[in-house]
Amino acid sequence: MRGAQYALALLGTRSRGDCRSLFERSGPDPRIPGLSHLSFCPEAPTSTETPLLDLFDKVKEFTTVDDLVRAGIYPYFTPIEDSEGTVVEIHGRRLLMLGSNNYLGVTHEPTVVEAGIAATKRYGSGCTGSRFLNGTLALHEELEQRLAKFLKKESALVFTTGYQTNLGVISALVGRRDAIFTDRENHASIMDGCRLSYGEIHKFRHNDMADLEAKLQRHSAGIREGRAPGGKLIVVDGVYSMLGDLAPLPEIVRLAKRYGARVLVDDAHSIGVFGPTGAGTAEHFGLEKEVDLVLGTFSKSLGSVGGYVAGDADVIDYIKHLARSMIFSAALPAPSVAAVCAALDIVEQQPERRQQLHANAEFLRRAFIDMGFQVGPGKSPVIPLIIGSREATFHFWKELFAAGVFTNPVTAPAVPEGMDLLRCSVMATHTREQLERVVEIVGEVAKKLRFVA
């Protein structure tokens, strides 16, 4: 789907350090002025025949949404009127929810809901200020201490959203002489964080360790030839949100050690899901000490909103004082923080939920494979039905929606061209009866549309 393009100018200035390691700063660089003005027409035209460009001209050319609406297959911004977790109500109809990231099913758990209510009564509905000034609550610091302990890190920091976490962490750490090595399939928040930094950006092919090493080698060769040395950061998703596959962390850690890079893992889809205690991808591979920074969001397994980063105490303190997306944003409201604390109790005390989640995912994945679908290489609760055509994907979504199953259609650029898919995701709280009904409906619709025999 072709979307409108946006230009973002980061205002203000900040200091950058010359460093041997990404985390070792030895002094500020000269101040770098921000962009304060963007214009299509900086000077008056010399001829009356030269047309002036209007900022909103691109809006008139953006007809994709109207085209899909007219075709009756526009799938986005569907308002949910009521929710029971695994079942939602839309336009007065009840649908089985197969498109949520509520992996452990905690959003409607009474202890989680009551924790949010109690925090609202104590602290009010919002913080009305930045963490940097009046917005830090004792509740924020309690959650940060719990997260650090849970993730086996020295310290943690809470942000208002997961998106802001990536923007703030990456742009705070990566300076002009530094380099980022990022998987091409990383989440948009990682890519935007890279763009907001002043570092060199090197994109490697998805989960392709040979390509990553080749780029690390070329960067090292450039330093030997006279390029100013700087730190290196390898950034990956622990679990990729569209195909549900895991990053090959053991090989990434090996390459990081060999080339002197730091490793940041975004565990948005991993926390609560992978690892013996649910601590995420690094724990799953037994690499908690080798991964330098772990970050993620509270909006999936932890059933709320917000984000976090965890790592060495001095690094977290550095981020705390330089991450613009945190310093200049209102703090996460108390009810959301309290809900996360209660959800973390469930992750720690109810490992059977994680076991049920994986059992449900395996049941549905196997059923889809038996139908003849390509479901990708993942073993996570994210199960893609790879269709390959945008129009066919939208029609499949529409028919499933009409039959009572809510899924998420995903097309380029969120996935590569020709990889258009329906993103399905299961919860620990889905019953076997519900999943069997999903399989029945998907099978009937797929045969109707001739996707399967």
269 flagged as catalytic: yes
Whether a cis peptide bond, with omega within 30° of 0, leads into 110 is no
Choosing from 189, 241, 304, 380, the catalytic residue is 241
Tokens 């990434």 belong to 252
With a CB cutoff of 8 Å and minimum separation 6, the contacts of 301 are 101, 102, 103, 104, 106, 271, 272, 273, 278, 343, 347
Q: Using CA atoms, how far apart are residues 375 and 423, in angstroms rounded to an integer? A: 10
In whole angstroms, give the CA distance from residue 37 to residue 167: 22
d(CA 17, CA 28): 5
End-to-end CA gap in the chain:
29
- Which candidate in 215, 300, 320, 430 is catalytic? 300
Out of 269, 284, 320, 430, the active site residue is 269
Length in residues, the chain: 453
At 21, give phi and psi (nearest 5°).
-115, 155
3-state SS, residue 69: helix
* Cα diameter, the chain: 73
How far apart CA 367 and CA 369 sit, in angstroms, is 5
Listed residue (189, 144, 191, 135) closest to 163, CA to CA = 189
195 three-class SS: helix
Is position 153 annotated as part of the catalytic site?
A: no
Active site residue 36: no
CA 399, chain centre distance (Å): 28
Catalytic residues: 241, 269, 300
